[in-house]
Structure 1
Amino acid sequence: MSTSFAAESALASPADGTARTVIRSAADVSQLVNRGAAVGSDARIVIAIALGGVFLDAYDLGALAFGVKDIAREFSLTPAATGFVASAITFGAIIGAFLGGYLTDKIGRYRVFMADMFFFVVAAIACGLAPNAWVLGGARFVMGLGVGIDLPVAMAFLAEFSRLNGRGNKAARIAMWCPTWYAAISVSYLLVLALYALLPASHSSWLWRLTLGFGALPALVIIAIRSRYISESPVWAANQGDLRGAAQILKRSYGMDVEVDAAALRDTKAPVHKATWSNYGALLRGVYLRRTVLATVIAVASSFAYNAVAFGLPVIISSFLAQSMLTTILASLALNLCFAFVGGLIAVRAVPKVGAWKLTVLGYAFQLAALIGLAVVGRPAGGAQVALAIGFLAVFLLGQGFGPGSHSMTFASLSYPTSLRGVGVGFNQTLMRASSTVSLFLFPVLSAALGTKVFWIIAFAPLAGLVALLAIRWEPSGYDVDAEDFDAAKRT
């Protein structure tokens, strides 16, 4: 790297005798972040707040799973109208991801994050009080905008408030989005279960309204604590030429005694990375083209397979077990917690040592084997076959948890430096959400036409992911991708 790292040298303060770190460039700020925050700093709380946004994304996407039939009955919806209500959030997320990625790089992580929290509050309340399907569909679309906007900014926070190497590195922090996601899905299941048990039969129509409206509560909590802990990304601030602001963030969130070199403040020739719409084109040039292709294939394949299986999990389980809704809810909850959630925790602990590439390859291999097994078993005829089919579902969710489920975001977030991270994740999420929409639409259609043979079709998704990973052996964990903002040769 051509820039020298001045932060390694510290100046003694004559007032108190403590050591201060001097920064002269955005590269220095990036290096300080890579070394990790001081013990007792606010950086981990910022990470937790960012993961709170991910929790909202997952909860709001999954909250409608058990309420679609009640909504259709209450509003006398046709199948087409039911599809409109169910898919409105994914269409909003497609648009939100594209716009949110650009805005995250353009106006900053903090402003975008605070704005999208209000989307969640307003939309959740509107969903819970919706008088008709049009209002409900519109509110879900607005909620989707918030979901789409949030993931690029949340991933930027996770990447830019984490160390480069060791336990809790950038890849591990980003992988935390996966168990957070499954925890949110499980909370939605638990809430449905509690309401199902507590609501009298005469008020069963409240179930979906209370479930959707609950999403406003965690969003209000995040908004309430934002002013105390949340900060702009120091690396993004430095990239915009605001070294003073970056130093203040490092003091506040990292517990570092930092000052800016006076000569650096007078330097008018220091590079500044301002976001433009052309940054989306940069994703398809030079070294970033291969990374974009790989991250996109992983995200699309993971989304298609997971949505077809996991969001169809209640339908699959009920067809396997032919039991009540209560049994279906409990089985779905158990599979998510015991396998998808646990798999996500394994990814967080393993990725600093094993790497995202190997874990994703292994995860896709698990999924491919599980889907082939489900296709071969078909509709279970007896207790042993039912247990085998449920076992294959568990293997699929475990592979999703420690493999592509966790690391689709790792590849999307850590394939690009700070100046391109927002648009990189936004572009990735736009295509992934489109894949989600297609899979959510196709799964019921294909399932009705093919029965359990649909698993042969779904198996092509992990197979495509494996082929892409074997063709492009890119390992983002432990690689200092932010340094590419300070070395122009890396961009070409």
Structure 2
Amino acid sequence: MTANAGNRLDDAPLSRFHKKLALYSSGGPFLDGYVLSVIGVAMVQISPQLRLSDSAEGLIGASALIGIFLGAFAGGWLTDRFGRQLLYTIDLIAIIVCSVAQFWATDPVWLFVLRLLIGMAVGADYPIATSLLAEFTPRRFRGPLLGGLVVMWFVGAAVAYVVGEIMLSSLGDDAWRWMLASATLPATIIVLLRHGTPESPRWLANKGRTEEAEAVLKQVYGPDVTIADLPDETEERENVDLKAILRSGYGGRMLYISVFWTCSIVPLFAIYAFGPKILDALQLEGGLANIGEAMITVMFLIGCVVALLGVNRMGRRPLVIHSFLWSGLALLLLGIFPDAPSGVIMTLFALYAVIIGGTQILQWIYPNELFPTEVRGSAVGLASSASRIGAAVGTYLVPMALTGWGVGGTMLAAAAISLLGAVVSVLWAPETRGMALHEAAALTPRPAQDRPSGRPASV
């Protein structure tokens, strides 16, 4: 196969199919943001009604994150083994069933288990949906579309706070039950929209199912596209399996992705799980705390949109470094001045929310670009699972940290994590801007003069 093989796909225009696939794939991140954020509002009623201790409150807040840790790796392995299409729907059906069951939860253990299962289903969707989108999307649009999935996380979070506040003020003592069950509606809509999505032709070709792969290519790209237009990834690197993720160049990539992802979500998820409680500690009380959290969510959304507009122009490496550095400084100021006026507090939170957008969109771009087709789902799942260990621990410790360290100490700890992400990114962050998917995943990078940035393609 020639060196330009696959360019017809990598350089294809953005079609209606690509836009629909990006929208449908964003359903998982939307539900993730929704279920992880609505618990923050629901906890206002759950804690007194179920008489939760700080420890139990932390466990329920972290339960979905623990589930994501379990589900992301399992989903990644399953999607590499059985394909993207089948699991693309099954995981959302599980979310629907468990969300409905939360309405009848009567004790902390039952609620913890259900939210754990929801987290597993959400985590499984990450590698499934992102692998499918990455393998269909032309290189010019891959970064923005993959990063756009994270925008939907914040849309889901914003909707959760609005819905939660409305239910809290209108549905009485059972409002928390309706909040937790409300994820059923968007999950059902997404399942219906995803029906009929084709399998990834790259995955089919990798499994030797060339006739099916060619049929999908013709369906999506036109009748003159054939299997010969798929790049031969084996020419770019040695054959790999899951074990190769943990050794050679892929081991270095996996280490960076796991650390960077962890540092980007630990402070963010802690803020979302207990946002109203944190803002209350910063003298923003009651409904104002929930409204403040919704406003911050809008700023997160703005930050992600700004990052999407700049990711191809600025490049992956500069974006992740600056995002970590300046957002960490905003958290540092919150930690040093926790008694500042409300306007200053909200301004610093808003700055953090806008600036951290760069690291958020790269959570889906980097892993999907740095690993080959046969292990892409497993790699994304493994990185997502590894990051959720830290996120779950951090979320679990937030109530106790607020009690023991105060809000200032808690914010200082969050700042330290973000600044660690900046240091690690300076040392290890790769640049994959402008590369075809098989080039970015190859262990041997293109010569520096052939790349847009001149930065190394691997850690």
TM over 0.5: yes
Does 2:158 align with 1:186? Answer: yes
**Amino acid paired to 2:148:** M
Which of residues 76, 81, 101 in structure 1 aligns to 2:76?
Answer: 101
**Amino acid paired to 1:98:** F
| Correspondence for 1:317 | 279
| Correspondence for 1:430 | 385
| Correspondence for 1:147 | 122
**Amino acid paired to 2:122:** V
Does 2:375 align with 1:420? Answer: yes
Aligned mates of 1:181, 1:270 — CA distance in 2: 32
Aligned mates of 2:195, 2:303 — CA distance in 1: 34
The answer to whether the Cα contact below 8 Å between 1:47 and 1:157 also exists between their aligned partners in 2 is: no
**Amino acid paired to 1:91:** I
Does 2:10 align with 1:34? Answer: yes
Does 2:210 align with 1:250? Answer: no
**Amino acid paired to 1:216:** T
Shift of 1:55: 0.8
Aligned mates of 2:393, 2:77 — CA distance in 1: 24
> Aligned pair in 2 of structure 1 residues 349, 255: CA closer, same or farther (>3 Å)?
farther
Does 2:198 align with 1:231? Answer: yes
> Aligned pair in 2 of structure 1 residues 38, 400: CA closer, same or farther (>3 Å)?
closer
User: Could you tell me the percent identity over the aligned residues?
Assistant: 23
Which of residues 438, 442, 451 in structure 2 aligns to 1:482?
Answer: 438
Instruction: State the TM-score, normalizing by the size of structure 1.
Output: 0.83
Which of residues 396, 399, 405 in structure 2 aligns to 1:441?
Answer: 396
Aligned mates of 1:45, 1:322 — CA distance in 2: 40
Which of residues 327, 338, 358 in structure 2 aligns to 1:378?
Answer: 338
Secondary structure of 1:63's match? Answer: helix
Shift of 1:189: 0.6
Which of residues 422, 436, 450 in structure 2 aligns to 1:466?
Answer: 422
Shift of 1:129: 2.8
**Amino acid paired to 2:36:** L
Bigger fraction of residues in helix: 2
Shift of 1:186: 0.3
> Aligned pair in 2 of structure 1 residues 256, 45: CA closer, same or farther (>3 Å)?
farther
Structure 1: any 5+ residue segments left out of the alignment? 9-27
The answer to whether the Cα contact below 8 Å between 1:37 and 1:43 also exists between their aligned partners in 2 is: no
Which of residues 255, 261, 264 in structure 2 aligns to 1:299?
Answer: 261
Deviates more, 1:80-89 or 1:45-54: 80-89
Q: Number of aligned residue pairs: give it.
A: 442
Does 2:207 align with 1:240? Answer: yes
Does 2:167 align with 1:195? Answer: yes
Does 2:293 align with 1:332? Answer: yes
The answer to whether the Cα contact below 8 Å between 2:68 and 2:119 also exists between their aligned partners in 1 is: yes
Shift of 1:224: 1.8
Aligned mates of 1:361, 1:461 — CA distance in 2: 13
Query: Could you list the per-position Cα deviations for residues 346-380 of structure 1 after superposition, in whole angstroms to 9, with x for gaps in the alignment?
Result: 11111111112111111112112102211221323
Query: Could you list the per-position Cα deviations for residues 431-465 of structure 1 after superposition, in whole angstroms to 9, with x for gaps in the alignment?
Result: 11111111112222222222213322222212211
Shift of 1:260: 5.0
Shift of 1:340: 0.6
| Correspondence for 1:13 | none
Shift of 1:79: 4.1
Aligned mates of 1:257, 1:126 — CA distance in 2: 49
**Amino acid paired to 2:167:** L
> Aligned pair in 2 of structure 1 residues 259, 405: CA closer, same or farther (>3 Å)?
closer
Instruction: State the TM-score, normalizing by the size of structure 2.
Output: 0.89
Does 2:39 align with 1:71? Answer: no
Which of residues 330, 344, 347 in structure 1 aligns to 2:307?
Answer: 347
Structure 2: any 5+ residue segments left out of the alignment? 446-457
Aligned mates of 2:353, 2:234 — CA distance in 1: 45
| Correspondence for 2:452 | none
Aligned mates of 1:259, 1:368 — CA distance in 2: 48
The answer to whether the Cα contact below 8 Å between 2:269 and 2:395 also exists between their aligned partners in 1 is: yes
> Aligned pair in 2 of structure 1 residues 315, 255: CA closer, same or farther (>3 Å)?
farther
Aligned mates of 1:97, 1:38 — CA distance in 2: 28
Secondary structure of 1:42's match? Answer: helix
**Amino acid paired to 1:417:** P
> Aligned pair in 2 of structure 1 residues 309, 223: CA closer, same or farther (>3 Å)?
closer
